[in-house]
Structure 1
Amino acid sequence: MALPKDPRQKMINIMYLVLTAMLALNVSAEILNAFNIVNDSIVTSNKSLADKNSFIYSQFDEQMKDNGPKTAPFREKALQVKKISASMYEYIEDLKKTIIDASGGLDEHGDIKSKSDLDGPTRIMENNKKGPELESKLTELRKQLLSYVDPKKKDQFEKTLPLKIEVGKSNDGHGGGPKTWTTYHFNMVPTIAAVTILGKFQNDIKNSESAIIDDLFRQIEASSFKFDKVRPFVSLNSKNLMVGQTLTANIAVGAYSTTVNPTIIVNGQSIEAKDGLGTVNIPAAGIGEKTITGTITLPSPNGGAPESYPFSETYNVGASTTSISADKMNVLYIGLQNPISISAAGVPAEQVSATINGGNITKRGSGEYVVTVTSPGKAVINVVANVDGKTKSLGQKEFRVKRVPDPILKVGANKGGSMKAADFKVQGGLRADLEDFEFEGVKYEVVGYRVGISAKGKEYQEGDATSAYFPGNVAASIRALRPGDEVFFENVKVKGPDNVVRSMPSTIFKLN
């Protein structure tokens, strides 16, 4: 009396691939919403698994009535599995609450206040060492669960048990080698992502618990099974799909025998059952919530009239939720390496690629790209992906292309106008600073200017500079400046990161 776990596990694996592909991104509102959808789907899946597991535990109790001595050892092991699984599930639930509280708690509607907060998960899981502790507990739980498996099947369960503790293949992106398990899952991820990942581990626990107790139940002599109630069971590969993807549903009764094939009707279509299980493939079409309905009919074990059990399961079909976001802002700057983050919900990052008109785009990591542009105006980034073996366009986004803004001319910390004579005299030249710019480390070079000095009681003096430093022929005049004197800068030339020489407006300093 067991349900195959492959389709349900495939659904969870697809969700997890989406999460890991998104963790390094500059998260937008659309991505946060996508995490909400995935988290809600995992919560729903966990509830369904809890109900299914409860049903199996109840069947152990029913078997105790008919065959107590044979059932008791397996039931005792199943209850131990239930206890250790529930303990770990609650431990993770407490971790969720701790992270949510560290990120500002819940609002009046019960939603996370700061879904995009990066500090809370990092502080709790890395700094407070809850990540390594969780890794250790999950590793120990997996070891305990495998100890309840039939020794003949242990190698098989080692490979298929959903609860796995492993680190992905990505490194830290800076040549620092592989990440730790904690860093890979929780370092600098948004709160909603951390909660979703923890929910995924809870889902793995529920699935693993289900696999173990199913195996224990199978070890009771099948011929002695006597079920007094059954119910439909529908497992979808995903409850959220993109147009063009395929919905796969595995349908059976909650307690079934591989020697009896039920009659299954899905959306009016008869489905062939094999070993007690029916599988239906439905192309996803039309955006919105969809429903799969039908009936399962079983022959009566005592030769009476067949019994039918209706079922209904909903799923969502959505358009492609491609996310293209400039890490700095919705502008690409000429002469700079503009970082861009690209993701597509439901598609692994390695299957996504992008092109740009009016520039060049290079992939540097999972979901991370660098864009260079040469001409002001507009540029469009197009995103495609390999979906079910076919190249599919996932969307495009237009960006403005601008030159890096002009710098501010300064002597010392002053931008022109009034300045103390004593402060001016100790400076070595003219600077060109770029203020309040999104990119750090962008600098301008002063390549030339004309400086004029108007000192009281003295002749007007000029000098031409070929660098930022004051020209030597006016050095003595600058050292002799006094309050009331004026210094003029004209024909100022600066060179920016695009290597283009720009002319700057004249500026004057009135000394006091």
Structure 2
Amino acid sequence: MQGRDNFDAPTHFFIGDSQDGSGGKARELKNKLVSFRKKMIELLGKYSDKVKLGLDIENKMYPTIEGDQQLNWEMTNFYHTILAADIVILNKLILEVRNMEADVVAQLYSAVSAEDFTFDRVGVKVVPKSNIVVAGGEYEAEIFVAAYDSRQNPEILIGDDVDTVNMKVLGNVTKLEGDSGRGILKIPAGSPGNKKFGGTITIKSQSGAVQTYWFKEEYFVMSPTATVSADKMNVFYIGVDNPVSISVPGVPNDRVRASITNGNIIPQGNGKYIVKVQQGTEATINVSAEMNGKVMTMGSAKFRVKRVPSPIAYVAGKPGGNYTKTELLANPYVTAVIENFDFDLRFDVISYSFTYKSPAGDLLGQPVNGFRFTQDVINIVQKSGRGSRFYVEDIKAKGPDGSVRTLPTVSLRITG
């Protein structure tokens, strides 16, 4: 380095032609250092008194070696100093700036860590918009990872609402006991309708600083309801399988229970049941559901109990009227049919009487067991002429309920 012992050039560079250093680079350097220090204090904010910052050179005066006068920072450090000394002073300033930066960063990091919250548990949370979804709608939920500190129990206050400005819980306030970093809220469901609540949760940071958060929520209380519908009609018929559908809104089918006051009810799966009744005039289905580990009564439905209606008799596939001999002999059966009935039921004809007119003009009855024409009846039909009349009378039919019904007479007329 040339001119390391020279002090004229350095003094002119840093001090200039001024008497107080304001005309040279020393004043410019001082202003930048003062501005830098102020920015560091601003960053520290309330923690500025916790860090001892150097470079406090604004408006400071320093005594000379002789002690006979006071000089400002510029004149003290850079007036009549050789180049080598200036380099040492500048390096010292660089070191002080870096130390100040490090001290400020360390304090800010310490402050963040002290007031930050630590967590030791992490879990996935699913928060549905509603637990009840209407057919044709959609299920919507927020899914996220939540962290909490199981080592401290938060203070949780629950009320009717919360003043979010003053962080004050309103209404009837109760304290919810926290456990392992969480609180479990249980509110008895009283009268039906929309319900609201609000509250605050307070937790502490590592430094002991307290932070309070508010929350609001609402839910809907519905009366216990069960939908019970007979799949065929609103009647149970004796002796047949009566299909029934049972459901409870918001409850899976496998958690629904059903019983009946008259007869038996048999689960078929997926909310379907079969009801069998044998007597009486009415039956009541009682429905309950398993909810949150408890069995709750959800409602009941009353049904009428009736006998299966009596069928009408058909001969050769028709309920009487005009027949040809060929038509009768091709389908020689007497059957029982229930018209306009939702159930597919079968009545078996077990006997009847085939009445005809003898050549002498007398009405004679030919008894028959079963539903087929006997050979005697077939012979009578074969010998008949155009305009002959027959009557199928005293028809007995046995139904699925075991009862035997007597059916109305069927009149037949031979047309050819």
Q: What's the TM-score once normalised by structure 1's chain length? A: 0.48
Give the corresponding residue for 2:273.
Answer: 369
| Partners of 1:344 and 1:367 in 2: CA distance | 9
Pairing of 1:100-499 with structure 2 (within 5 A): 207=143, 210-211=144-145, 263-267=155-159, 268-273=173-178, 277-296=182-201, 309-365=213-269, 367-440=271-344, 442-454=345-357, 460-499=363-402
Q: Structure 1 pair 3/318, CA: closer, same or farther in 2 (3 Å)?
A: farther
| Partners of 1:487 and 1:275 in 2: CA distance | 92
Q: Structure 1 pair 37/290, CA: closer, same or farther in 2 (3 Å)?
A: farther
Tell me the SS of whatever aligns to 2:331.
Answer: coil
| Partners of 1:37 and 1:289 in 2: CA distance | 21
Find out whether 1:506 has 2:406 as its counterpart.
no
Q: Is the 8 A contact 1:378 1:400 kept in 2?
A: yes
Q: Structure 1 pair 403/478, CA: closer, same or farther in 2 (3 Å)?
A: same
Pairing of 1:88-103 with structure 2 (within 5 A): none
| Partners of 1:388 and 1:287 in 2: CA distance | 18
Give the corresponding residue for 2:24.
Answer: none
Q: Structure 1 pair 473/343, CA: closer, same or farther in 2 (3 Å)?
A: same
| Partners of 2:399 and 2:178 in 1: CA distance | 71
Q: Structure 1 pair 454/328, CA: closer, same or farther in 2 (3 Å)?
A: same
| Partners of 1:3 and 1:460 in 2: CA distance | 96
The alignment's C-alpha RMSD in Å is: 3.6
Unpaired segments of 5 or more residues in structure 2?
A: 1-118, 160-172
| Counterpart residue identity of residue 377, structure 1 | T
Tell me the SS of whatever aligns to 1:280.
Answer: coil
Per-residue Cα deviation, 1:147-174 (whole angstroms, up to 9, x for no partner): xxxxxxxxxxxxxxxxxxxxxxxxxxxx
| Partners of 1:393 and 1:275 in 2: CA distance | 35
| Partners of 1:303 and 1:365 in 2: CA distance | 57
Q: Is the 8 A contact 2:315 2:410 kept in 1?
A: no
Per-residue Cα deviation, 1:295-338 (whole angstroms, up to 9, x for no partner): 3456799999x765543211111111212222322211111122
| Counterpart residue identity of residue 270, structure 1 | K
* Alpha-carbon shift at residue 398 of structure 1 (Å): 0.8
Q: What's the TM-score once normalised by structure 2's chain length? A: 0.58
Residue identity (%) = 32
Q: Is the 8 A contact 1:462 1:474 kept in 2?
A: no
* Alpha-carbon shift at residue 487 of structure 1 (Å): 1.6
| Partners of 1:280 and 1:376 in 2: CA distance | 48
| Partners of 1:439 and 1:3 in 2: CA distance | 58
Unpaired segments of 5 or more residues in structure 1?
A: 16-33, 50-206, 219-255
Q: Structure 1 pair 392/494, CA: closer, same or farther in 2 (3 Å)?
A: same
| Partners of 2:151 and 2:258 in 1: CA distance | 51
Q: Structure 1 pair 450/307, CA: closer, same or farther in 2 (3 Å)?
A: same
How many residue pairs align between the two structures? 283
* Alpha-carbon shift at residue 381 of structure 1 (Å): 1.6
Q: Structure 1 or 2: larger strand share?
A: 2
| Partners of 1:458 and 1:35 in 2: CA distance | 77
Tell me the SS of whatever aligns to 1:509.
Answer: strand
Q: Structure 1 or 2: larger helix share?
A: 1
Tell me the SS of whatever aligns to 1:36.
Answer: coil
Q: Is the 8 A contact 2:260 2:285 kept in 1?
A: yes
Tell me the SS of whatever aligns to 2:376.
Answer: helix
